[in-house]
């Protein structure tokens, strides 16, 4: 997930994750990669919030279904 700062056309180096139900998963965004580590099954809604060099922010929402692990 590449996030560009439209004020200076450079990639954003940090973004915040807002999780509606943190008991379902741990989520991180680092260098354009979202990592989701599920804890429990269910629907997980989270937002990625990026801020520009001038302090403006933009939020995108995502919805992910966390499933039970598949046995080997």
Q: For 1-45, what is each residue's pLDDT tens digit?
A: 778 887 777 887 778 888 888 889 999 888 778 889 999 999 999
Among residues 11, 14, 39, which one has the least CA distance to residue 2? 11
pLDDT in tens, 37-67: 999 999 999 999 988 777 788 899 999 999 8
List % helix, strand, coil for the chain (3-state, nearest 5).
Answer: 0, 55, 45
Q: What's the CA gap between 32 and 35, in Å, rounded?
A: 10
Dihedral angle, C-alpha 21, 17, 29, 9, nearest 10 °: 150
């Amino acid at each position: 997930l590449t996030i560009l700062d439209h004020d200076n056309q450079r990639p954003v180096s940090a973004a915040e994750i807002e999780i509606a139900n943190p008991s379902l998963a741990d989520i991180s965004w680092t260098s354009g990669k979202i990592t989701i580590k599920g804890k429990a099954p269910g629907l997980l809604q989270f937002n990625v919030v990026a801020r520009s060099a001038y302090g403006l922010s933009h939020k995108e929402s995502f919805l992910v279904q966390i499933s039970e692990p598949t046995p080997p």
